[in-house]
A and B are shown apart, each in its own frame.
Chain A
């Protein structure tokens, strides 16, 4: 096995069976993600992005095919893969500080080490002064920052992000994107980030994996050859705009195809 390998996804398909309905969420996904690479999964709502991320996390398992992380088959969730969910998932009964510390207590660390690490992530996430707050007293952006801090604190090999900024306004979103890039530059690890925002995907990732819908398949993989470090000025760079046009066309293409299906289905019925 290649030591540089972050994730190895081979011929993965995933079906959901609900009563009589069978949903083919993913079909024949094959993808290798390098160690330390930033990959964005881009696609329309319902195309299976979250499903693929959950498979990488080990919260669910493929119907067919196999997934390994750093050469080890994924058999369940683990310390080596941190996850930030699409919905807010801070433990409401714990303060910001205790949320961040939650995973650390499971690692065999001394008390001072835990305190030091917690403080470090409070600082890097700009959460000073909020350590003793409960999550219902925080803004959406802050909640996601705590969730990212909590996932990073255990120092996982990879970070799985499911539309972490989906619920944020455009401005907060942009600053969170820059913020996450800074953290990633300072401490590079494999990142797989789900998004349906074309700009966000291109701005952050080394590669953008565009998924098509029903069943979710890889439509195209776009290598983003833009210099790093990147900041908001990058978004008006002509190269950035060219990538954006291309990716938007792909997604729109998908949208048209799907609507054609709807149209013909309506015509038949």
Chain B
């Protein structure tokens, strides 16, 4: 019998890797990126003024957290993202589900949301500052304005994807036309809705950073724009990497939540 080639097998379309292999591959990838970064900076291929070495970045990170209370910046940014995101979810979930289930709701909401969705959030920041000021509610408003229309439409699409025969079979088993909403449509749509939430949470990070760069006195985005003024590139790197790591953590939380809530998937 021919010996199986593990490397070749891994490239069979639509197969999966073992958890261990997957982990090893991702560690190596990060390692490679780090190595390239290290090489480029130490060999002088880039100006050290604009590209810090990994070591500089780590040191800048330590300094930020110990001397400059960067932790409170991180906290306030996470708070803004979560508030904006949760309010969006609280509104988008019921509206999106109603829209995906009942045609009249769709007719009312769809056109408005499809229009709003194309308006760039960034263009509204000056307006929001004039209307609301530069306090917390302005940052949260920016996040909501950016994520809510998208989220409503995504939840509606997820809801529509629920197989029509499932509602019909529920009718034959005595479920009323109203009750199918929570007996069939809600549980059926939930897994893909959670996926949509995960995507939109990622976008919320972009909106908060932009909002913090334009009118704020604290937060990760504020720290980044301040560092730009002082040409402190290492600090900017720390800011960006911090956002990346927090994003990664939330991603894992979402995946864990999915596994917990939907054991049948």
Chain B binds chain A: yes
Chain A residues at the B interface, C-beta cutoff of 8 Å = 57, 59, 76-79, 81-83, 85, 87, 89, 91-94, 102-103, 106-107, 134-136, 150-151, 154
Render B170-193 as a binary contact track against A, CB cut-off 8 A, 1 for contact: 111111000000001001101000
**8 pairs of A and B residues whose beta carbons are closest in the complex:** A103-B173, A106-B174, A134-B264, A77-B171, A77-B172, A83-B172, A89-B169, A89-B165
A175 to B124, CA, bound (A): 66
A57 to B187, CA, bound (A): 25
Chain B residues at the A interface, C-beta cutoff of 8 Å = 163, 165-166, 168-175, 184, 187-188, 190, 262-265
- Cβ contacts under 8 Å, A106 to chain B: 173-175
Whether A93 pairs with B262 at a CB distance below 8 angstroms is: yes
Contact of A89 among B163, B175, B190, B264 (CB under 8 A): B163
- Cβ contacts under 8 Å, B166 to chain A: 89, 91
Q: List 30 A-B contacts (CB under 8 A).
A: A57-B172, A59-B168, A59-B171, A59-B172, A77-B171, A77-B172, A78-B172, A78-B174, A79-B174, A83-B169, A83-B172, A85-B168, A91-B188, A92-B188, A92-B264, A93-B187, A93-B188, A93-B190, A102-B173, A103-B173, A103-B174, A106-B173, A106-B174, A134-B264, A135-B264, A136-B265, A150-B173, A151-B172, A151-B173, A154-B174
Q: Say how far B151's CB is from chain A's closest CB, in angstroms.
A: 22
- Cβ contacts under 8 Å, B190 to chain A: 93
- Cβ contacts under 8 Å, A59 to chain B: 168, 171-172
Q: Say how far A17's CB is from chain B's closest CB, in angstroms.
A: 17
- Cβ contacts under 8 Å, B174 to chain A: 78-79, 103, 106-107, 154
The closest CB in chain B to the CB of A83 belongs to B172
Whether B263 pairs with A134 at a CB distance below 8 angstroms is: yes
The closest CB in chain A to the CB of B175 belongs to A106
Q: Say how far A131's CB is from chain B's closest CB, in angstroms.
A: 14
- Cβ contacts under 8 Å, A135 to chain B: 264
Whether A77 pairs with B184 at a CB distance below 8 angstroms is: no
The closest CB in chain A to the CB of B165 belongs to A89
Q: Say how far B160's CB is from chain A's closest CB, in angstroms.
A: 17
The closest CB in chain A to the CB of B168 belongs to A59
A91 to B169, CA, bound (A): 9
- Cβ contacts under 8 Å, A136 to chain B: 264-265
Contact of A154 among B168, B173, B184, B265 (CB under 8 A): B173
A134 to B177, CA, bound (A): 25
The closest CB in chain B to the CB of A92 belongs to B264
The closest CB in chain B to the CB of A54 belongs to B168
The closest CB in chain A to the CB of B184 belongs to A91
The closest CB in chain A to the CB of B263 belongs to A134
Whether A81 pairs with B264 at a CB distance below 8 angstroms is: no
A106 to B170, CA, bound (A): 11
A248 to B171, CA, bound (A): 36
- Cβ contacts under 8 Å, B187 to chain A: 91, 93
Assuming the contacts A93-B188, A93-B262, asked whether A87 and B171 have C-beta atoms less than 8 A apart, the reply is no
Which of B166, B174, B265 is most buried by chain A, counting CB atoms within 10 A of its CB? B174
Q: Say how far B51's CB is from chain A's closest CB, in angstroms.
A: 49
